[in-house]
Chains A and B, each alone.
Chain A
Amino acid sequence: MQALYAQLLVGLINGSFYALLSLGLAVIFGMLNIINFAHGALYMMGAFCAYFLLNVANIGYWPALILAPVAVGIFGMILERTMLQWLSGLDHLYGLLLTFGLALIIQGVFQNYFGSSGLPYSIPDQLKGGINLGFMYLPVYRGWVVIFSLVVCLLTWYLIERTRLGAYLRAATENPTLVRAFGINVPRMITLTYGLGVGLAALAGVLSAPINQVRPLMGADLIIVVFAVVVIGGMGSIMGSIITGFALGVIEGMTKYFYPEASNTVVFVLMVLVLLVKPSGLTGRAT
């Protein structure tokens, strides 16, 4: 029984990453109708940014939590301005292919300079150590990850669904012409939105740097699982992605306890089932 609780807790930790990453993806898809295959590579850039800030500029973890997402977010906005905006009239799938190509480029460049094994990033001193919960020994840092992710997810949801800025963003993607007629700079909104989504990915990267190694391919296999989360949760639904992210992490943890062989595949099985029954996802808007 203890082992089950322990695995559930680990699942929750994994779920936080799924939630944060799928949040960024959902924002981008919901607002821009772009399937951002480069999301994993941008997550990786966030982690590398934190690594450089520490090892080159001696800037520690706490400032990095803000600086890295901003830096990578700006990079994302440049990508949007220079490449993605040309695809706005075309089939969604071209966006998928373009971002897939971008992911290959970013990952390949980093691999060339840093090899494939990990670079170490140590846990910040304030978050070292662990608490003995009885059923398991919980490292403080991992507990922090869960709490911080939850807070960020809820803040983002609030920003988009409950503030005026969020309302403008949502309106701009549903009916750009009308919104433009109101004098709002729609292309700029779109660029900002992409930057926001990318920034969220980079933030997840910084969070993950002390746990996983900082590796060029750290986002590559994670991205497919995150796609599954977004699809199940409802492509474009913010709250759907958050809930699904955490839920899927927990489900994966349970599978690891009861039937470990299936732990990798359970996410995809669920995705196929959901797509068959309700293609717009559990809470998504029907398109």
Chain B
Amino acid sequence: MNNKIAALLLGTAVALAAGNLAVAQDKTVKIGSLSDQSGLYADLGGPGSTLAAQMAVEDSGMTARGWKIDIISGDHLNKPDVGVNIARQWFDVDKVDVIVDIPNSGVALAVSNMVREKNGILLDSGAGSSDLTNAQCTPNTIHWAYDTYTLAHGTGTSLAKAGGDSWFFLTADYAFGAAIERDTTAAVKAAGGKILGGVKHPIGTSDFSSFLLQAQASKAKIIGLANAGADTTNAIKQAAEFGIVAGGQKLAALLLFITDVHALGLNTAQGLNFTETFYWDLNDQSRAFAKRFQERMKNHSMPTMVHAGVYASLLHYFKALEALGGNPHDGARVVAKMKELPTDDPLFGKGSIEPNGRTIHPAYLFEVKKPSESKGPWDYYKLVATLPADEAFTPLDKSTCPLLKK
């Protein structure tokens, strides 16, 4: 009898230990890069993000340490229901652990909820809405690279203080547009400016003539473009056609990427002011990364801050996995570990992650060079100012994240 009990206890102990060992030794990771692969955000995220993920895997040296890492990619077509369906399938059938990228705040917010349900991980570097770490924060999501607060306080405040005290908004009618209009309105008003009005346009509009006419009629000093990607570049091009800048009004591109400047050309884009958190030509490390990225990109474009965010977020994720000794396939647990460790990567430098899932690092105010100032293709930005980390993101005491309520 004693022998039997002993055997049972021993067996249980061995089983438990083996169970733990099994967890500790599970070194498989599946990454899903969910992006807009063919639409208006394809250049700032898209295939470049998948490449950035691959580079992160290679540079981390994980495979040499016995890890098996797979990357798959998906196209959310800028539709939240498509994104959610892909995410659901990835978690249920393909056993994906972590989703990266997702430009398009509407999709990101919808997927963030799904990720929490399935206890996966979302490392979002593409979407802008600050809601991801405020009202809609979850213990499974970390928001990388930038958000609408950064853009508002970088571009909005500086332009308002420099004399742009009346604004008119051209807003993309979905989650991101609404978020950036809201945050910029707050920043402009705090700097003493006023908002004269605004108009909403559908995402993916190609003809801005009637909206631009309304902006012109408002006589606002600054026309704020609360949109991104091809919407912004189209609006800027057509504004030139209608003589808006010649008529004395300034355009504020609230979210602009290097790929947009490249599409516009320096002649049209010169003088534009905007905020980003990464530029390929900022320092030696960013230049080294950019060079390798550009060689492998089909269209030879330079990395945007979204691509940089995918790279950095995955490097940090791997660090957390190593610290845990294996992949527990438990999203909340890994995210908690990621929040514990300080971030340090070649692209964003040293920083940290707040309890609400927001990464903290400096941001930069750039101005587009004149054609005469540029030394070659992709040499587009000059640095105007640096925003320290504590000013660039929502302070914790103002955050509306439910996780922070004790």
Tell me, yes or no, whether A and B come into direct contact in the complex with CB atoms closer than 8 A: yes
Considering the chains assembled together, what is the distance between the CA atoms of A142 and B209 in angstroms? 10
Please, which residue of chain B has its CB at the minimum distance from the CB of A13? B209
Considering the chains assembled together, what is the distance between the CA atoms of A137 and B238 in angstroms? 12
Q: Which residues does chain A contribute within 8 Å of B39, judged by CB atoms?
A: 115-117
Task: State whether A10 and B213 are in contact (beta carbons under 8 Å apart), knowing that A117-B230, A118-B234 are contacts in the complex.
Answer: yes
Which of B63-71, B241-249, B306-314 lies at the binding interface?
B241-249
**Interface residue tally on A, bucketed by range:** 20 to 34
The 8 A CB mask of B256-269 against A (1 = contact, 0 = none) is 00000001000000
Q: Determine whether the beta carbon of A117 is less than 8 Å from that of B42.
A: yes
Task: State whether A212 and B241 are in contact (beta carbons under 8 Å apart), knowing that A3-B213, A116-B38, A117-B229 are contacts in the complex.
Answer: no
Q: Determine whether the beta carbon of B242 is less than 8 Å from that of A218.
A: no
Considering the chains assembled together, what is the distance between the CA atoms of A46 and B217 in angstroms? 34
B207 adjacent to chain A (CB < 8 Å): yes
- B263–chain A nearest beta-carbon distance, Å: 7
Q: Which residues does chain B contribute within 8 Å of A14, judged by CB atoms?
A: 207
Q: Determine whether the beta carbon of B210 is less than 8 Å from that of A215.
A: no
The 8 A CB mask of A127-145 against B (1 = contact, 0 = none) is 0001010001101011000
A115, A116, A136: residue with the most chain B Cβ atoms closer than 10 Å: A116
A211 adjacent to chain B (CB < 8 Å): yes
Q: Which residues does chain A contribute within 8 Å of B214, judged by CB atoms?
A: 3
8 Å CB interface, A86-134 against B: 111, 115-118, 120, 123, 130, 132
A2 adjacent to chain B (CB < 8 Å): yes
Task: Choose from A111, A117, A130 the contact partner of B241 (Cβ within 8 Å).
Answer: A130
The 8 A CB mask of B202-220 against A (1 = contact, 0 = none) is 0010110110011011000
Please, which residue of chain B has its CB at the minimum distance from the CB of A211? B207
B276 adjacent to chain A (CB < 8 Å): no
Q: Determine whether the beta carbon of B206 is less than 8 Å from that of A118.
A: yes
Q: Which residues does chain B contribute within 8 Å of A130, judged by CB atoms?
A: 241-243
Q: Determine whether the beta carbon of A137 is less than 8 Å from that of B242.
A: yes
Considering the chains assembled together, what is the distance between the CA atoms of A215 and B230 in angstroms? 11
The 8 A CB mask of B33-57 against A (1 = contact, 0 = none) is 0000111101100000000000000
Task: State whether A256 and B210 are in contact (beta carbons under 8 Å apart), knowing that A130-B242, A213-B234 are contacts in the complex.
Answer: yes
A253 adjacent to chain B (CB < 8 Å): yes
Q: Which residues does chain A contribute within 8 Å of B247, judged by CB atoms?
A: 137
Task: Choose from A2, A141, A253 the contact partner of B217 (Cβ within 8 Å).
Answer: A2
Considering the chains assembled together, what is the distance between the CA atoms of A260 and B216 in angstroms? 17
Q: Which residues does chain A contribute within 8 Å of B243, judged by CB atoms?
A: 130, 132, 137
Extra inter-chain contacts (8) besides given A3-B217, A212-B207, A213-B234, CB under 8 Å:
A6-B213, A7-B210, A115-B38, A115-B39, A117-B38, A117-B40, A213-B206, A218-B206
Cross-chain pairs A/B with CB under 8 angstroms, 21 sampled: A3-B214, A3-B217, A6-B213, A7-B210, A116-B39, A116-B204, A117-B39, A117-B40, A117-B42, A117-B43, A117-B229, A117-B230, A120-B263, A123-B241, A130-B242, A137-B216, A142-B209, A212-B206, A213-B234, A215-B206, A260-B199
- Which residues of A come within 8 Å of B, CB atoms? 2-3, 6-7, 10, 13-14, 111, 115-118, 120, 123, 130, 132, 136-137, 139, 141-142, 211-213, 215, 218, 253, 256, 260
